[in-house]
Structure 1
Amino acid sequence: MHIQDGVLDPTVVIGAGVAAVGAVTYAGWTMRHGRSRLGWALAGAGGVLIAHLLDVPLAAGGALTGHVIGGTLLAIALGPSLALLAMTAALATEALLWGDGGVLALGVNVMVMGVAGVAAGWAVWRRLSARGDGWRVPAAGVAGFASVLASSAMLWGVLALGAPGVASVTLWHHVAWAALEGAVTALAVALALAWQGYRARVAGVDHGFADRGALAEG
């Protein structure tokens, strides 16, 4: 899903870059009192970097591959603003150090995998998880699935505007990618719930996952 330099029309690159700067600046402004979780954000950004290196074959022979984006899981753990900052840091590191995504196209990649994915995943998570504790794991799975579809829709839109002659990957590839994201996100939340349940039993105190960290945010 990373877009390299030279693929898109410069006007689209500049427009997306301005939008990305605005979104990241706003996220940073909302987190001006959130320094206590910066360590977790750095850990999350590191996790995203690792996840982006682990391509999973989605077709025979490995002709089509996908990797977990991680924006929804970051949003569930940290809240949407800090999740976007962590995702931006990860994408910038990939572009600068590994050449995975163009440096000039960084704003486009932030909008596609950061803004679109985090916003969609967070919105779905908040709506479904509010139904009750039993919805936490399925809500995470649906949110992860929706986040990739939102990122894919923005990717298609950006290519249509800035590189109409460049074909994106096929629809079923996006759906398979989204299913992978949903499964990993649901598994991660299930493990977190199990771990906190274990700690609660050991401590004899009810520390619900829904009442901690980002999940208590409005």
Structure 2
Amino acid sequence: MHIQSGVLDPGVLIVTGAAAIGAVTYAGVALRRGERRWGLAAAGAGAVLVAHLLDVPLGMGGTLTAHVIGGTLLAVALGPWLGLLTMTGVLGFEALVLGDGGVGALGANVLVMGVAGVLVGWAVYRGVLRAVARWRGELPGDRWVVLASGVAAWVSVVASSLVLWGVYAAGAPSQLAARAWSVSIPHHLAWAVLEAAATAAVVAVGLALAGHRARALAHADTMGAGHRQVRVIDGDLEALG
């Protein structure tokens, strides 16, 4: 999904760059009011970087590619703001060090995979859990958390794909923008299924490990303060930390 240099016109690069700076700045300010889990963020950045390296060309001379984004998983594990900052760091490293994605197009790539990939995934994830909580009248269990993460991951990839096409439509030659729609959208819809499966699987493993840890703590507490419940909440997956 990385946009390379020389594809977008300067005006679109300026607008997308300014929008990305605004989003990242807001994330940094918002993060000051929350918990900053830098160790987990570093691990997440490494995992996302590896996922991004598994790039599959979609034709058009390598202009369009597909890969697992990892935005929803970052949002679930880190929360939306640290997740966005982590994704921005990964994209910056890829552009500056690996040459994957143009440096001038970094703002556009942050909008595609950071703002859309992370924040849309987070919003859908939270929305699904809230809907389940209202429907069942209780806090959603682990299976609903896994389902919500999978649904959110699928929607986030679709959102990223639509933002990608929108940027192409606004700043790329019309022929390239038309090709981007016909080539990228169908492929990314299918790719979103892989993203959903991978995200749900990782979250399920994290919840299972967290449950094992909770049972171990509860067993230890039977000699002291008694049974102890440890609840895994979005943005604080203990098993991944």
TM-score by length of 2: 0.81
- Alignment RMSD (CA, Å): 2.2
CA distance in 2, matches of 1:191, 1:214: 10
Q: Which one of the candidate residues 147, 153, 168 is aligned to 2:162?
A: 153
Question: Retained in 2: the 8 A contact 1:79–1:214?
Answer: no
CA distance in 2, matches of 1:152, 1:117: 9
Q: For residue 225 of structure 2, what is the aligned residue in structure 1?
A: none
Q: For residue 73 of structure 1, what is the aligned residue in structure 2?
A: 73
Q: For residue 85 of structure 2, what is the aligned residue in structure 1?
A: 85
CA distance in 2, matches of 1:179, 1:56: 15
Q: CA 1:203–1:26 in structure 2 vs 1: closer, same or farther (change >3 Å)? A: same
Q: For residue 47 of structure 1, what is the aligned residue in structure 2?
A: 47
Question: Retained in 2: the 8 A contact 1:72–1:118?
Answer: yes
- Report the 3-state secondary structure (helix = DSSP H, G, I; strand = E; otherwise coil) of the residue aligned with 1:69: coil
> Deviation per CA, 1:114-164, whole angstroms, max 9, x where unpaired?
001112100110011232113111111000000000000000101011012
Q: For residue 2 of structure 2, what is the aligned residue in structure 1?
A: 2
Question: Retained in 2: the 8 A contact 1:75–1:214?
Answer: no
Corresponding position: 1:175 with 2:189: yes
Q: Which one of the candidate residues 220, 229, 232 is aligned to 1:209?
A: 232
| Poorly superposed stretches of 4+, deviation over 6 Å | none
Question: Retained in 2: the 8 A contact 1:144–1:178?
Answer: yes
Question: Retained in 1: the 8 A contact 2:78–2:235?
Answer: no
CA distance in 2, matches of 1:211, 1:153: 26
Task: Provide the aligned length of Structure 1 versus Structure 2.
Answer: 211
Q: For residue 165 of structure 1, what is the aligned residue in structure 2?
A: 175
How far residue 57 of structure 1 moved from its aligned partner, in angstroms, is 8.8
How far residue 74 of structure 1 moved from its aligned partner, in angstroms, is 0.4
Q: For residue 198 of structure 2, what is the aligned residue in structure 1?
A: 184
Amino acid aligned to 1:92: G
CA distance in 2, matches of 1:127, 1:192: 21
Gaps of at least 5 residues in structure 2 are: 59-63, 133-139, 219-227
How far residue 68 of structure 1 moved from its aligned partner, in angstroms, is 1.1
Q: For residue 25 of structure 2, what is the aligned residue in structure 1?
A: 25
CA distance in 2, matches of 1:144, 1:87: 15
CA distance in 1, matches of 2:93, 2:34: 22
CA distance in 2, matches of 1:211, 1:112: 23
Amino acid aligned to 1:177: W
Gaps of at least 5 residues in structure 1 are: 59-63
Q: Which one of the candidate residues 134, 140, 154 is aligned to 2:149?
A: 140
Question: Retained in 1: the 8 A contact 2:95–2:103?
Answer: yes
- Report the 3-state secondary structure (helix = DSSP H, G, I; strand = E; otherwise coil) of the residue aligned with 2:233: helix
> Deviation per CA, 1:59-116, whole angstroms, max 9, x where unpaired?
xxxxx96321011100001110000000000000000111100001000000011001
CA distance in 2, matches of 1:156, 1:75: 23
Q: For residue 124 of structure 1, what is the aligned residue in structure 2?
A: 124
Q: CA 1:212–1:22 in structure 2 vs 1: closer, same or farther (change >3 Å)? A: closer
How far residue 38 of structure 1 moved from its aligned partner, in angstroms, is 1.7
- Report the 3-state secondary structure (helix = DSSP H, G, I; strand = E; otherwise coil) of the residue aligned with 2:37: helix
